[in-house]
């Protein structure tokens, strides 16, 4: 296998570093960004390899003769000083595992037993985890990664690698193994602790929750948080008996904790009668969408067993702003507890001057900015615009600091503009926004120009200077890392699939790529995801392409009820969004028995609400901030990315 241009550059740089060391000089050390999101424990810096070992590993990565490289490692193991011979023992076995050499797993165990306190021991657990994945043993792989996370020598570098690889694997293992993994991740990764605990609570059965309390496997700090997530999830489904049992378990362990009191309050409440208003376009241009949303509301009532206590007052807005105002006034006069709808942005905007304080209106519009115009208005949506904040933060958490945004000239530029402002508000820099002509199929020249304009000129000049110092003068085309950390593609899936190969042609394939659920238009996998292994995008887990791979009891129940009533599986994200909204309304009005003034306050609860379309928390402006899932493409399939 021939070395890539970048691979050759890495070899040259390593050679220069070796010459510098031999001459008694110290090579320049690149700066590293400390990941604040991994602050639950004090994580170590990555161990530094000897220059000779670095060079051998780089040669192996570039596809050079593996037998020669392994022989060189044998020489270092036999003749090298203690630090080098010990590291060489680990690195040799790492290469054996990566190349599926016979006896590699046994060799690794022997090395770990020989050097049990070496800094590479947790890395070795990670290497053998990837080896088990290649043997199609996801359970064993996840267990080894859990060991690595629990090792006292865990580094930031290794933790990030594990958090990137493990979440999709958790979808393929038994429930108890997956929950155990999520809880260990929560102990380590403080920045995403709530997300890990929600995932654990969503997956955990009551038997597993009981077991966690019996064996004391969860720290006193996390136990009440996990129990609260588990109790709230069951409150949303109407399983008050499960809420009562969780409250009892936490009360026995921590009788004076506020979360135990909260769980007991949820468990003791009786269902109360409530009236919920509904405003949807059931006739007119958008009637099909209004009917989808209404079906979702009805499934929720049937599923959670609150139909006998909830009265729906349904008003047809007829896809008209004037009719929406009339419908709102009629519902307000009937003293409904809460209103779900409208669906359209223009009808929602028309209502704003008429909204009454104390009567919450939860609109399903994609215009999230409207929520800021009235304290009575809440917006619950899956609009790609609401996902922009999620992806900007995700990119930032994964070390993106300099970003390039690509969009097309024919599209609405709101998504790219919102991503730019969100990313810059976090402290990042959008270096360039490239607008492509949708009518042009071949964008390679534009992408090459982008690559040239954003090359890291400072690094290029520095390397050029070093090469002229230590190597004979030669003609060499330099392929340097791009001067940006990541791309955001404000495009649909068809464009993303088409552009992926052209990005690789322009030498931009090794850059992380981010996007929204606009990618889920049915065309993203046209090329089976080639060149998109580093792509990440936000989406609801109700997306059609993901239905076969999910293990979510509530989502399965939602689809089961739909199939029982309508005889098919043709659900939609709008239907699921309406379903979630009705479950929230039911909890607030019937199960908790809140009055109108209390409803608005409790909708802003920082804990938020479990939902199959993504955990939602209404911020101070009334915008429903979604805890959306992030997905990636692996082996031709869309899988959770963590």
Q: State the Cα–Cα distance between residues 368 and 268, nearest whole angstrom.
A: 36
If phi > 0 it is left, if psi is from -120 to 50 it is alpha, else beta; for residue 406 that is beta
Please classify residue 260 by burial: count the beta carbons closer than 10 Å to its beta carbon, then call 0-12 exposed, 13-18 middle and 19+ buried: buried
**Mean pLDDT, residues 90-96:** 94
Does residue 463 surpass a pLDDT of 80? no
Q: Are 454 and 482 in contact (CB under 8 A)?
A: yes
Distance CA 157, CA 119 (A): 13
Same domain, 241 and 306: no
Final residue in a domain of this structure, among 539, 563, 596? 539
Residue 373 and residue 347 share a domain:
yes
Q: Of the candidates 624, 596, 583, which has an alpha carbon nearest to the alpha carbon of residue 332?
A: 596
Indicate the pTM of the whole model.
Answer: 0.66
SS3 state at 97:
helix
Q: Do 218 and 278 belong together in one domain? A: no
pLDDT tens profile 58-90: 999 888 999 999 999 999 999 888 889 999 999
- pLDDT tens for 310-365 read 899 999 999 899 999 999 999 999 889 999 999 999 999 999 999 998 899 999 99
Q: Evaluate whether 466 touches 493 at the Cβ level (below 8 Å).
A: no
- The whole-number pLDDT of residue 123 equals 94
355-394 per-position pLDDT tens digit: 998 899 999 998 888 999 999 999 999 887 777 888 898 8
391 and 535 belong to one structural domain: yes
| 486-489, strands of its sheet edge to edge | 429-436, 402-408, 486-489, 513-515, 535-539, 629-634, 637-640
The enclosing domain of 282 has a CATH number of: 3.40.50.2300
Looking at the structure, tell me whether residues 391 and 372 fall in a common domain. Answer: no
Query: What is residue 164's three-state secondary structure?
Result: helix
pLDDT reported for residue 458: 52
Q: Are residues 408 and 522 in the same domain?
A: yes
DSSP sequence for 43-61: PBPPPPPPHHHHHHHHHHH
Coil/strand/helix, residue 201: helix
Domain boundary among 478, 512, 539: 539
Per the CB < 8 A criterion, the answer to whether 227 and 257 are in contact is no
Q: How far apart are the first and last CA of the chain?
A: 32
Q: Which domain holds residue 213?
A: 204-269
Phi, psi of 275 (to 5 degrees): -120, 125
Could you tell me if residue 275 is left (phi over 0), alpha (psi between -120 and 50 degrees) or otherwise beta?
beta
Q: What pLDDT does residue 47 have?
A: 75
- How many domains are contained in the chain? 3
DSSP-assigned states of every residue in 242-297:
HHHHHHHHHHHH-TT-HHHHHHHHHHHPPP--EEEEEEE--SSTTHHHHHHHHHHH
Model confidence at 291: pLDDT above 60: yes
């Amino acid at each position: 296998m021939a070395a890539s241009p970048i691979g050759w550059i890495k070899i040259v740089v390593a050679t220069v570093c070796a010459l510098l060391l031999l001459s008694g000089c110290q090579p320049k050390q690149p700066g590293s960004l400390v990941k604040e999101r991994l602050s639950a424990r004090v994580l170590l810096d990555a161990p530094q390899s000897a220059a000779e070992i670095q060079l051998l590993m780089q040669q192996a990565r570039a596809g050079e003769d593996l037998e020669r490289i392994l022989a060189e490692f044998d020489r270092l193991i036999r003749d090298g000083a203690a630090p080098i011979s010990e590291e060489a023992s680990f690195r040799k076995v790492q290469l054996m595992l990566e190349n599926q050499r016979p006896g590699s797993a046994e060799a690794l165990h022997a090395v770990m037993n020989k050097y049990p306190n070496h800094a590479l021991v947790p890395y070795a657990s990670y290497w053998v985890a990837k080896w088990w994945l290649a043997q199609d043993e996801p359970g064993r792989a996840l267990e080894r990664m859990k060991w690595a996370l629990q090792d006292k020598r865990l580094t930031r570098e290794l933790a990030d690698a594990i958090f990137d690889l493990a979440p999709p694997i958790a979808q393929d293992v038994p429930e108890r193994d997956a929950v155990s993994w999520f809880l260990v991740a929560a102990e380590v990764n403080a920045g995403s602790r709530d997300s890990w605990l929600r995932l654990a609570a969503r997956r955990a059965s009551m038997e597993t929750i009981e077991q966690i309390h019996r064996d004391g496997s969860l720290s006193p700090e996390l136990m009440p948080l996990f129990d609260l997530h588990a109790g709230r999830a069951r409150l949303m489904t109407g399983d008050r008996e499960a809420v009562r049992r969780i409250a009892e378990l936490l009360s026995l362990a921590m009788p004076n904790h506020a979360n135990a009191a909260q769980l007991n309050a949820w468990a003791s409440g009786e269902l109360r009668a409530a009236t919920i208003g509904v405003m949807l376009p059931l006739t007119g241009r958008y009637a099909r969408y209004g009917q989808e949303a209404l079906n979702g509301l009805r499934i929720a009532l049937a599923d959670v067993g609150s139909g006998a206590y909830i009265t729906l007052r349904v008003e047809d807005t007829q896809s008209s702003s004037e009719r929406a105002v009339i419908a709102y006034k009629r519902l307000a006069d009937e003293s409904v507890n809460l209103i779900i709808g409208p669906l359209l942005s223009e009808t929602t905007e028309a209502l704003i001057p008429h909204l009454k304080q104390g009567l919450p209106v939860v609109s399903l519009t994609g215009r999230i900015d409207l929520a800021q115009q009235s304290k009575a208005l809440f917006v619950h949506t899956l609009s790609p615009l609401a996902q922009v904040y999620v992806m900007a933060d995700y990119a930032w958490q994964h070390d993106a600091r300099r970003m390039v945004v690509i969009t097309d000239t024919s599209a609405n530029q709101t998504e790219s503009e919102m991503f730019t402002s969100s990313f810059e508000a976090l402290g990042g820099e959008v270096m360039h926004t490239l607008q492509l002509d949708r009518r042009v199929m071949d964008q390679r020249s534009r992408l090459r120009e982008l690559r040239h304009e954003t090359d890291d000129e400072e690094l290029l000049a520095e390397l050029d200077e070093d090469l002229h110092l230590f190597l004979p003068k030669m003609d060499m085309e330099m392929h340097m890392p791009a001067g940006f950390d990541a791309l955001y593609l404000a495009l649909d899936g068809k464009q993303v699939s088409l552009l992926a190969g052209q990005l690789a042609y322009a030498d931009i394939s090794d850059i992380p790529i981010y996007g929204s659920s606009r990618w889920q238009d049915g065309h993203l996998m046209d090329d089976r995801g080639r060149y998109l292994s580093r792509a990440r995008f936000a989406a609801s887990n109700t997306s059609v392409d993901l239905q076969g791979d999910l293990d979510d009891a509530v989502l399965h129940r939602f689809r089961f009820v739909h199939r029982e009533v309508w005889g098919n599986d043709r659900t939609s994200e709008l239907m699921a969004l309406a379903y979630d909204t009705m479950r929230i309304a039911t909890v607030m009005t019937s199960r908790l028995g809140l009055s109108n003034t209390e409803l608005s306050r409790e909708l802003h609860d920082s804990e938020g609400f479990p939902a199959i379309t993504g955990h939602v928390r209404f911020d101070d402006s009334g915008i429903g901030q979604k805890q959306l899932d992030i997905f990636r493409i692996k082996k031709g399939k869309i899988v959770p990315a963590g």
